[in-house]
Amino acid sequence: MPHERKAAIVTGASRGIGAAIATRLAADGYAIAVNYAHDRSGAQRTVESILETGGAARSFQADISRESDVIDLFNAADAQFGTVSVLVNNGGVTGGFSRVDELSAESLTHVFAVNVIGAFLCAREAVRRMSVRHDGGGGSIVNISSRAGDLGGSGEWVHYAATKGALDTLTKGLAKEIALEGVRVNAVAAGLIETDLHAAAGKPDRTAKMASSIPIGRAGLPDEIAECVSWLVSPAAAYITGAIVPVSGGR
């Protein structure tokens, strides 16, 4: 059964996991604010796929590492759809594959600005709207983390893994902070997922090469992440907060 129509913001929803989450939540009955930083055409494809199935969606450009953009995003979504009751912090960058001794300060700053500061800013705006402390009606925040946060990303992207570790800490700490305010906070720790992220980072064959390291024997699909998000924001998960759910094929 679809939920009563409410509004959801999905950051980084122009492609891959974000697009799958936006589409799945739209099928659940949410009006979707499809956020993108640069890929306007990709975001519009996500919107069109939602509209074609009778859902409600609109794209909103915002660089989530910029406080003013985040504030504008939430205000615009409020004006378009009403107060947001779900935030999915999916927007992020990898910073490319690199050893720690080859990283630049510029690259590190960018990765942490988007993946960590951006998630904090979006969570802040969401809490200000959802929390009963702020006269909100409650809601749910789901952070899209990664198993890299536990595994470390050695030899590839320790910098990216470190941002996901920070996101896990945000999940657990914020969940406890607002547990009595009607807002649940959880995370999905994605494993190796078939998206263009790997090609964009410079290793298009990465999932094929790493499939043997996954107990289930294959990489995951964006829709499998989206299904978990759909469950976490639903009434079926009403007693779950502060959880980091691995969707990783056992890896």
Instruction: Tell me, yes or no, if 239 is annotated catalytic.
Output: no
Quick one: DSSP state of residue 93? -
Is the CB of residue 160 less than 8 Å from the CB of residue 104? no
> To 10 degrees, the CA torsion angle through 168, 174, 179, 184?
-60
Give the CB-side neighbour count of residue 153, counting CA atoms within 13 A. Answer: 23
For residue 15, the one-letter residue type is: R
DSSP notation for 72-86: HHHHHHHHHHSSEEE
Q: Which residues pair with 188 in a beta bridge?
A: 144, 245
User: Per-residue b/e over 177-213, b at no fewer than 16 CB within 10 Å?
Assistant: ebeebbbbbbbbbbbbbbbebbeebeeeebbeeeeee
Selecting among 30, 36, 160, 239, the annotated active-site residue is 160
The torsion angles phi and psi of 124, rounded to 5 degrees, stand at -60, -50
Identify the CA nearest to 5 among candidates 58, 43, 71, 57. 57
For residue 18, the one-letter residue type is: G
Dig out the tokens for 147 from the structure.
């198993």
Whole-number Å distance between alpha carbons of 159 and 228: 26
Active site residues: 160
